[in-house]
Amino acid sequence: MTSFVATERISQTCPSGDGQRLRLFSGNSNPALASEISSYLGIPDGPRVSKRFADGELYIQIQESIRGCDVFLLQPTCAPVNDHLMELLIMVDACRRASARQITAVVPYYGYARADRKTAGRESITAKLVANLLVEAGVSRVLAMDLHSAQVQGYFDIPCDHIYGAPVLVDYLATRDLGEVVVVSPDVGGVARARAFAKRMDDAPLAIIDKRRSAHNVAQSLTVIGDVKGKTAILVDDMIDTGGTISQGARLLRERGAERVIACATHAVFSPPAIERLSEPGLFEEVLVTNSIPIAKELHFPQLQVLSVANMLGEAIWRIHAESSVSSMFR
């Protein structure tokens, strides 16, 4: 998964002048990731003007012809989520009005994904609303990574390619001397994700933390289902937000005799007080995340390891453009 050679394929097979030209443009939410993807694909991050007016309104102009082109817009909708989402919508509209042949929204982190169902009366299913906004703005296809729940993929009335950060995390873990491993789901809802992760780790055994949530961003871990004593416990989740769920889970695993605890998550949201919880001495040996969301320097701590998903996203972009299989990347 980490040894792609996309530039050779592009130079050999990328057509020009036939309506299939590949163009990449990024928003302002994760410029470092955009630079890595651009380098992998061997194409520039396209020129555009992005600024704010005095009243806070956004202005975006694409500064090259994209008529008939296959345009990929990279923009994780991380915090500030509303600004980044609006920027993406304006970019889509600009490309649609510039006669792009196809517009793919590359959204490594899909904001509002947790609002995926009604849990009480008079609530919005915001994950579906955002999907509707993207479609109405003119998006032809979506490329997302580790959506919070499987049903979000079905909220789009257009093709949605869903890829996973697990291969990058597993590749890193393969370089470590972990001893006897058990993969742990921090709650019942994440069992499918943890099971798939365990399968990649040579069918490692699985354990589950029984958790009950009393309010939004408040969780109470109760018990561990499975044997973790004397093992390296790998806690797997799609994201770490305030760190409450995963730190409580780690503490419980330590109490049940886990020798080492490593946290793995694709999206490092890191809302306060996540850093204080994750950096607690003696709790985590490592916290592995990807660069789907930019992590400010002041949010780094000794146990943190940030792994790049740029090559994976770049390969997925190339395969979509070349009309080849994306799912085969994970077989």
Mean pLDDT lowest for which of 1-10, 112-121, 301-310? 1-10
Determine, yes or no, domain membership for 108.
Answer: yes
Q: Which residue of the set 128, 199, 211, 231 is catalytic?
A: 211
Domain count, the chain: 2
Is 96 in the same domain as 183?
Answer: no
Is 128 in the same domain as 39?
Answer: yes
SS3 90: helix
Show the tokens assigned to 124: 């919005």
Determine, yes or no, domain membership for 215.
Answer: yes
Mean pLDDT confidence for 86-98: 98
Query: Which run of H or of E encompasses 41?
Result: helix 31-41
Query: Which run of H or of E encompasses 93?
Result: helix 81-97
255/249 Cα distance (integer angstroms): 10
Determine, yes or no, domain membership for 1.
Answer: no
Is 229 in the same domain as 258?
Answer: yes
Which residue shows structure tokens 């555009």? Answer: 48
Determine, yes or no, domain membership for 300.
Answer: yes
Amino acid 23: pLDDT: 97
Query: How far lies 121's CA from each of 117, 118, 174, 216, in Å?
Result: 11, 7, 46, 16
Determine, yes or no, domain membership for 203.
Answer: yes
CA diameter of the chain = 63
pLDDT digits (tens, 9 = 90+) for 313-330: 999 999 999 999 999 988
Is 10 in the same domain as 158?
Answer: yes
Determine, yes or no, domain membership for 255.
Answer: yes
Show the tokens assigned to 70: 């296959």
Q: Which residues of 133-162 are buried (b: 16+ CB within 10 A; e: fewer)?
A: ebbebbbbbbbbbbbbbeebbebbeeebbb
Is 172 in the same domain as 60?
Answer: no
Is 155 in the same domain as 170?
Answer: no
pLDDT digits (tens, 9 = 90+) for 14-71: 434 443 599 999 999 999 999 999 999 999 999 999 999 999 999 999 999 999 999 9
Is 53 in the same domain as 195?
Answer: no
Range of the domain at 57: 6-164+310-330
pLDDT digits (tens, 9 = 90+) for 238-265: 999 999 989 999 999 999 999 999 999 9
Determine, yes or no, domain membership for 295.
Answer: yes
Whether the pLDDT of residue 5 is over 90: the answer is: no
Mean pLDDT confidence for 86-110: 98
Residue at 289: amino acid letter: V
Is 212 in the same domain as 93?
Answer: no
Selection from 161, 172, 133 nearest residue 264 by Cα: 172
Query: How far lies 329's CA from each of 103, 123, 288, 299, in Å?
Result: 22, 37, 21, 32
Is 188 in the same domain as 262?
Answer: yes
Is 22 in the same domain as 126?
Answer: yes
Query: How far lies 65's CA from each of 47, 68, 99, 228, 258, in Å?
Result: 10, 9, 9, 57, 57
Model confidence, pTM: 0.91
The verdict on whether 211 is a catalytic residue reads yes
Determine, yes or no, domain membership for 183.
Answer: yes
Show the tokens assigned to 197: 């992760």
Position 8 confidence tier, pLDDT thresholds 50, 70, 90: very low
Is 121 in the same domain as 215?
Answer: no
CATH number at residue 144: 3.40.50.2020
% of the chain residues with pLDDT over 70: 91
Is 43 in the same domain as 92?
Answer: yes
Whether the pLDDT of residue 221 is over 60: the answer is: no
Selection from 88, 49, 94, 87 nearest residue 69 by Cα: 94
Whether the pLDDT of residue 139 is over 70: the answer is: yes
- Provide the 8-state DSSP code for 271: -
